[in-house]
Amino acid sequence: MPGMQNLAKAAGFLMLVNLGSRLLGFLRETLIAGYFGQQSATDAYNIAFVLPDLLYWLLMGGVLSSALIPVFSEYIAKGQEEEGWRVVSSTMNIILLALSFCTLLGLILAPQFMALEAPGLSEDYQSLAVLLTRIILIQPLILAFSGFAMGILNSYKIFWPSALGTLLYNAGIILVGPLLVSGWHMGIEGFAFGVVFGAVANIAVQIPALRRLGMRYYPVIDWRHPGVRRILVLAIPIILGYAINQIPVAIYSNLASLLPPGSVSAVNRAYRLFQMPIGIFALAIGVAVFPTLTEQVALKRLRELKATISLAVRMVIYITLPVSVGMIILRYPLIRLLFEHGAFTAQNTADTTVPLIFFCLGITAQSVTNILPRVFYAFNDTWTPVILGILSMIVNVLAMILFVKPLAGGGLALATSLAGAVNMLLLFAVMRRRMRRIGGGQILKTTGQTLIASLCMGVAVWLSQYGVARMLGTEGVASLASLVLGAGVGALVFAGLSKMMRMEEFAQTMGLVLRRLGKNG
């Protein structure tokens, strides 16, 4: 099917670019770990992102994920591009004015916010967190432009400029952060300025693509335009959902700040590793599939829609289950190789492995929940995922309070994984009730086969790691050898078992890889 092939190509490209972006992200984290280790200063740096991220996702996340792309895509499909540009311009002006006002409030009220968010930080480190927050608050305004650019380009099914922008975002931090810390003798605030520079690079690379599209901008604010009102109405429940989802974030930061110094940084580093397969695979598939979902809904091609949903979910499960098993087994060499140098100690590594185990248990569920809400958004239903998200949030909060005492940072990670699994099951249940058959049997079959292959692969990876440890130990080059050999052995065993079981997802994945290699060759 040509549509499926185009979807696979788009997803494959986005996976490749997202992989590069994640690798740069880990290089960024490695640099920070090398300069500052895992202590109160890094806790302050991580907590400083809470308010800027809150403002961005509250005002931009709902507009982009649920409203802008479907509405603008519909104007394009109907040949009403000029009107679509007016709608986008008006929406952008409204959002940017609101974001500017909230940013100003954030700059003023940062000390009060930090006192509530991180009561466990000492007075000096709370002051540092306030300074870092005020620097990073510049970032949401810049990323808002990037977000609108991404939404416009994705509506035309053009994905590479925004994907490249994420690469340059991390590259900007990597270049500017160390320069300011080493060359200008700044503290960790040098990396905060690097965040702002990276945001500028993100939007800069997308501007030429917008100009080639013939982007039109109108300095208007038209609240009454049907398209603007539709975007805002669709975005309201998502904005509400993001606001409610900040409750677990606030509770997490509050609880983590009361744990020993460095706990916030340990959980955050484990969380970034947990997000790596989600960002590389699930997010790429979700972004690539969304325009196709909206198109199939608009044209009432329900049979094709169900096939697209099934394919996307099965591919995510097939890819992320073995990755999660591999990450649990290879957690020590992975963290040693990425972070254990400079001021980052062996104890910091051990502290990070505990939350990583519990996060990895939820990789597949969190990945699937990157796909399923987009199906509801394609039907212009933005309330259902929010309501189900609220139920999951309640589970998350209760689980954090329950698990943080016996498991410390690991309890916070376990709560996240548990809430993700609840959210996924609720989304599946409601979707099946509305759409009746969604290929559930095929999805369950893929899950069972993938789990069997992943567990067998896990045994092989553990044996390879044990062999490396016996011959080379665990330090230095042994970590690299464990990762390379473990990944190689794991991939071969998993691929071999997938082929033996004649899994359709194996053939699709190999076809995608071979096409990509053939194209590059």
Is residue 76 in a domain? Answer: yes
* pLDDT band of 1, cuts 50, 70, 90: very low
d(CA 389, CA 384): 8
Dump pLDDT digits (tens) for 276-289. Answer: 888 777 777 777 77
82 inside domain: yes
| Residue 223 Cα distances to 145, 219, 304, 342, angstroms | 20, 13, 36, 54
pLDDT of the residue at 399: 95
The amino acid present at 20, given as its one-letter code, is: G
Angle between helices 263-277 and 226-257 (to 10 degrees): 140
Three-state DSSP class for 49?
A: coil
Residue 234 confidence (pLDDT): 77
Measured CA to CA, the distance from residue 367 to residue 353 in angstroms comes to 21
164 within a domain of the structure (yes/no): yes
User: Percent of the chain scored above 90 by pLDDT?
Assistant: 34
- Residue type present at position 94: I
Range of 94's domain?
40-249
Q: Quick check: is 60 in a domain?
A: yes
Confidence of residue 62 (pLDDT cuts 50, 70, 90): low
The answer to whether residue 323 sits within a structural domain is no
Per-residue DSSP letter, 39 = S
Q: Which amino acid is at 477?
A: V
Closest CA relative to residue 428, chosen from 507, 380, 364, 357: 364
340 inside domain:
no
Residue 392 domain flag: no
The per-residue pLDDT for range 437-494, each reduced to its tens digit, is: 777 788 899 999 999 999 999 999 999 988 988 888 777 788 889 989 999 999 999 9
Mean pLDDT along residues 191-211: 92
Q: Has residue 131 got a pLDDT over 90?
A: yes
Residues 200/58, Cβ–Cβ less than 8 Å: no
Does residue 244 form part of some domain? yes
Using one digit for the tens of pLDDT, what is the confidence trace for 106-122?
Answer: 999 999 999 888 888 88
Query: How many domains are contained in the chain?
Result: 1
pLDDT at 177 over 70: yes
Residue 103 has a CB neighbour count (10 Å cut-off) of 22
